[in-house]
Amino acid sequence: MFSITLLVVGKLKEKFYQAAVDEYAKRLQAFCKFQLIELPEYRLSDNPSQTEIQAALAKEFEMLRPKLPKGAWLCVLTPEGAMQSSEQLANTLKQVKLGGKSAACFVIGSSFGMAPELKQMADLRLSMSRMTFPHHLARVMVLEQLYRAESIQAGTKYHK
């Protein structure tokens, strides 16, 4: 069975976001082995300098790197990434599977982004939108789109 890992930096505090995350994680289990790994965001001052931000991103990368599944196809969520429709994402995952990969890993960095080294490692840099959303909502959006992509591949009626 195909495995999908969602690796995120930052803890969810809002119950309504957590309820949505739990629901889509449960739904995804019908199509793949799903794992959510949550790592703490590095604490910064209220008005951090670019140097402080870059140092924090480097420390977060050091926490993330050992959690990346070995041999998995890697997708990072980043504003400068390519945008795909739901159908295109479904096709991308289908091609990953047809290419012989048995696992995919999606990474959402902290509210300040992610280290350039992590972006360079990615097989795909993906943007959900040019709009700005609350950081924690991104987790729900990614899970919904992963569920939708798997549903499209399975031919269910979820995606219309």
Q: What domains can be seen in the chain, in order of their start residue?
A: 3-154 (3.40.1280.10)
Which one-letter DSSP state was computed for residue 39? E
Higher pLDDT, 133 or 27: 27
pLDDT for res 117:
96
Residues whose CB is less than 8 angstroms from the CB of residue 157 and which lie 6 or more positions away in sequence, other chains included = none
Query: Considering the entire predicted model, what is its pTM?
Result: 0.95
Question: Could you give the CA distance from residue 45 to residue 53 in angstroms, rounded to a whole number?
Answer: 10
Confidence band for 160, pLDDT divided at 50, 70 and 90: confident
CA angle, 84 as apex, 81 and 89 as ends, to 5°?
115
CA angle, 103 as apex, 121 and 39 as ends, to 5°?
65
What confidence tens digit (pLDDT) does each residue in 105-125 have? 999 999 899 999 999 999 999
Higher pLDDT, 159 or 73: 73
Question: Could you give the CA distance from residue 75 to residue 42 in angstroms, rounded to a whole number?
Answer: 22
**Cβ neighbours around 36 below 10 Å, total:** 16
Distance (Å) of CA 80 to CA 30, 53, 148:
32, 18, 23
pLDDT for res 70:
96
